[in-house]
Amino acid sequence: MSNKATAEPLGIFFRSWSEKNAGRVPGNIPIWVGILSELTEFGIFFTAYFIAKFYYPEVFSGGPQSLNTTIGVLNTIVLLSSSYFMAKAMANIRLDNLKKCEHFLWLAFICGCIYLCLKTYEFHWNDLQGYSTSTNEFFTVYYYMTFNHFLHVGWAACAILWVIFRLRKGAYSAKESTGLEALAVYWHMIDLMWILIFPLLYVLR
């Protein structure tokens, strides 16, 4: 298949949705299909949370008081910082500053690892307090949501390692950074989901 053929649009979307009319797509179309799927998945979790909270208001009112809020806050700060480092990595690749780009990608990766360690400790801490998935409806939703998010951070952190490997091989530059940008938007999406999860599980009584 020639390059020209692969570059042509599929022709299944409205013309107004094309990059020419609506603006540039950051990353690539496949990553946005993935992001849309993830948004749908988490959207179902959030809907389940609100339905459960409607039927069990007292359980959900007491739930956040049972959790380790300090770890929740630390994880929020860590993920926000990781998003910042990812944005800095993108800013540096546009300047062809590969060393700095790699430096910021490592920082984002370290933040991802810190998040995973803190979350693992939090699950252990919950276990020590005697909380499990079957404690009550709040904890069922809590584990369902946070463990799923944990998995997303885990595989996205692995993707950062892959992008660092590709960066070192010279795959990205100011002119060609599609793969790196695809990772960046995916990582930000994971951060966005935590921005919603944090108040629902740790703040609202």
User: Footprint of other proteins on this chain (CB under 8 A)?
Assistant: 17, 19, 22-26, 32, 36, 39, 43, 46, 50, 53-54, 57, 61, 64, 69, 72-73, 76-77, 80-81, 83-84, 86-88, 90-91, 184-185, 188-189, 191-192, 195-196, 198-200, 202-205
Smallest separation, CB 32 to other proteins (Å) = 6
Smallest separation, CB 202 to other proteins (Å) = 7
Smallest separation, CB 11 to other proteins (Å) = 17
Q: Which amino acid is at 160?
A: I
Residue closer to other proteins (CB basis): 2 or 40: 40
Residue closer to other proteins (CB basis): 164 or 185: 185
Contact 187, 156 (CB under 8 A): yes
Give the 3-state secondary structure of 19-87.
Answer: HHHHCCCCCCHHHHHHHHHHHHHHHHHHHHHHHHHHHCHHHHHHHHHHCCHHHHHHHHHHHHHHHHHHH
Smallest separation, CB 123 to other proteins (Å) = 20
Coil vs helix vs strand at 46? helix
DSSP assignment, residue 99?
H
DSSP assignment, residue 170?
T
Residue closer to other proteins (CB basis): 19 or 127: 19
Residue closer to other proteins (CB basis): 18 or 133: 18
